[in-house]
Amino acid sequence: MVGRPRASSQRMLEEAASELFLEQGYAKTTIEQITQRAGVSRNTFFNYFGSKSELLWVELDASLQALTDALAERATADDPLGAVEEALLVTAAGFTADRAPLVLTQYDVMGIDAELRAAGLARALAHAELIERYLVARLWGVDPRGAARPLQARAVALAVLGAAAAAVGRWAADGPTRSPLVSYLERTVHPVVDGYRRAGL
């Protein structure tokens, strides 16, 4: 018996969940409904997702992995600040116009409450943590796993993340005819990075 390829099962679950969240709201959608719409079993669902809420943050989780990989490829870069900017642009390049997270564009329709938004914020801050650890190791030569990290590293990471978040928010709001995400990040992230570089960091 030939089943649905594993590579497509996750995507089918994501699409089914998005459809149901838009049709009847997040709270009224069950895992059973999602698996039925996707044509897969409950066990298959839990092969990919630990909970229903994880389906809201697929793109954000994917971007964290992409940023992790991009920074790892720049572990010996001569310009760590520039490497952070490049890594963010590489990550952004993976998002086409049709991949704007529905949780950003349709949160009212889907009924996303403050608690769920907070879960998204925690995921976003994981990006800042990743950038901070990279800068600590590259600019200060300190063990990034340690508690005593330079304050500047956290400030830079949060400033860069804030600039990137502003770009993503505008990109998502601009609708299907939006320009590539990279063009938005170039306008917001570069001035922040350049400012810190001019300050001698």
In this structure, are 71 and 138 located in the same domain?
yes
Report which of 184, 167, 196 is spatially closest to residue 83, judged by C-alpha positions: 196
On whether the CB atoms of residues 134 and 163 are closer than 8 A, the answer is no
| Residue range 175-196, pLDDT digits in tens | 878 888 999 999 999 999 999 9
Range(s) of the domain holding residue 183: 55-198
In this structure, are 42 and 59 located in the same domain?
no
Report which of 88, 101, 106, 118 is spatially closest to residue 182, judged by C-alpha positions: 88
**pLDDT score, position 100:** 63
CATH number, domain containing residue 27:
1.10.10.60
| Residue range 168-179, pLDDT digits in tens | 989 988 887 888
**pLDDT score, position 7:** 47
Domain count, the chain: 2
CATH number, domain containing residue 184:
1.10.357.10
Do the domain assignments include residue 120?
A: yes
**C-alpha span between 43 and 35 (Å, rounded):** 9
Choose between 47 and 57: higher pLDDT.
47
In this structure, are 126 and 34 located in the same domain?
no
| Residue range 145-164, pLDDT digits in tens | 776 788 999 999 999 999 99
In this structure, are 41 and 113 located in the same domain?
no
In this structure, are 38 and 102 located in the same domain?
no
Do the domain assignments include residue 1?
A: no
Choose between 78 and 148: higher pLDDT.
78
In this structure, are 15 and 42 located in the same domain?
yes
Mean per-residue pLDDT for 135-152?
84
**pTM to 2 decimals?**
0.84
**C-alpha span between 40 and 53 (Å, rounded):** 18
In this structure, are 28 and 77 located in the same domain?
no
**C-alpha span between 127 and 140 (Å, rounded):** 19
**pLDDT score, position 200:** 86
Query: Quick one: pLDDT band at residue 201, thresholds 50, 70, 90?
Result: confident
In this structure, are 36 and 67 located in the same domain?
no
Q: What are phi and psi of 29, to 5 degrees?
A: -90, 130
**pLDDT score, position 1:** 39
In this structure, are 40 and 129 located in the same domain?
no
